[in-house]
Amino acid sequence: MSKETILIIEDERPIAETLLYALGREGFGTHWSMTGGEGLTWLRAQKPSLVVLDIGLPDCNGLDLCRDIRTESQVPILFLSARAEEVDRILGLELGGDDYVTKPFSPREVVARIRSILRRVGTPVPANEESEGEAPLSIGPFLEDKEKMRISYHGEQLELSRYEYRLLSLLLGRPGKVFSREEILSRAWEEPEMTMDRTVDAHIKSIRKKMRAVHEEDDPIRTVRGVGYALEL
């Protein structure tokens, strides 16, 4: 099999079909399994590049299935439909999931995350018009150029450190979503277990200062007391 193949384990037909279409159009091979059991059998036989895994399946729970897969394979796993309280388990050592998207999601977002996971693990991804000179993303007053790892704000480029960039990019990826400090650490830092929660606060402080230097009155980062941070546009 020369194409990078994505296995989708999802029992809701409309969701699966949307993903099959979006992935197929971007040059990925796909296989759809409606149940965990069938998905696991296919995975063992075909060794896909990545698994998109729903949590609520007719014959099992996606979290348990992930644990089973991890006993025999390190294939990247993107979860669908994670509730906030499941996220820590998904991304933690216990389950070893690679990322998640919450329903409802746009197929575009899922494809973008799949590409990003595959790039991270070094799997070649099919070329498409977007990946050749990916256009900067415009999000409110922000413009993010992921290829160059740059973010501009009200038309001015922010001089961000590596972790400042990764933190702000994470918030920009989901405007309005509240990220806990632990979540920020686990998703933006390379060695989250070696890093303290207050490191996040220090980086937020520094990012805010840089944004204020561009635009005094604005503070798009909202502090959620006792929890973490969210981007409000």
Query: Shortest Cβ contact with Ca ion: which residue?
Result: 56
Cβ 178 to Ca ion shortest distance, Å: 25
Backbone angles phi, psi at 12, to 5 degrees: -90, 110
Angstrom distance (rounded) from CA 126 to CA 10: 23
Q: Kindly indicate which of the ranges 8-16, 64-72, 180-188, 206-214 contains the residues binding Ca ion, using the contact rule CB under 5 A.
A: 8-16
By the rule CB under 5 A, 86 interacts with Ca ion: no
**What b/e sequence results for 156-170 when a residue is b if at least 16 CB atoms lie within 10 Å of its CB, and e otherwise?**
eebebeebbbbbbbb
Q: Of 9, 34, 48, 54, which one interacts with Ca ion (CB under 5 A)?
A: 54
Q: Enumerate residues 6+ apart whose C-beta is below 8 A from 72.
A: 44
Q: Enumerate residues 6+ apart whose C-beta is below 8 A from 134.
A: 146, 147
Site string for Ca ion, 185-204 (x = CB under 5 A): --------------------
By the rule CB under 5 A, 17 interacts with Ca ion: no
Which has the closest alpha carbon to 52: 75, 71, 72, 86? Answer: 75
Q: Which residue has the tokens 């949590």?
A: 55
Q: Kindly indicate which of the ranges 7-15, 117-125, 209-217, 221-229 contains the residues binding Ca ion, using the contact rule CB under 5 A.
A: 7-15
Nearer to Ca ion, 38 or 134 (CB): 38
Report in angstroms the alpha-carbon separations of 14 from 4, 10, 11, 21: 23, 10, 9, 11
Residue 4, classed as helix, strand or coil, is coil
By the rule CB under 5 A, 176 interacts with Ca ion: no
Cβ 19 to Ca ion shortest distance, Å: 13
Cβ 51 to Ca ion shortest distance, Å: 15
Contact 139, 233 (CB under 8 A): yes
Task: Count residues binding Ca ion (CB under 5 A).
Answer: 3
Cβ 55 to Ca ion shortest distance, Å: 7
Angstrom distance (rounded) from CA 50 to CA 119: 11
By the rule CB under 5 A, 56 interacts with Ca ion: yes
| Token pair in block for residue 187 | 């998703």
By the rule CB under 5 A, 11 interacts with Ca ion: yes
Cβ 52 to Ca ion shortest distance, Å: 12
Nearer to Ca ion, 68 or 232 (CB): 68
By the rule CB under 5 A, 98 interacts with Ca ion: no
Residues of this chain that bind Ca ion (CB under 5 A): 11, 54, 56
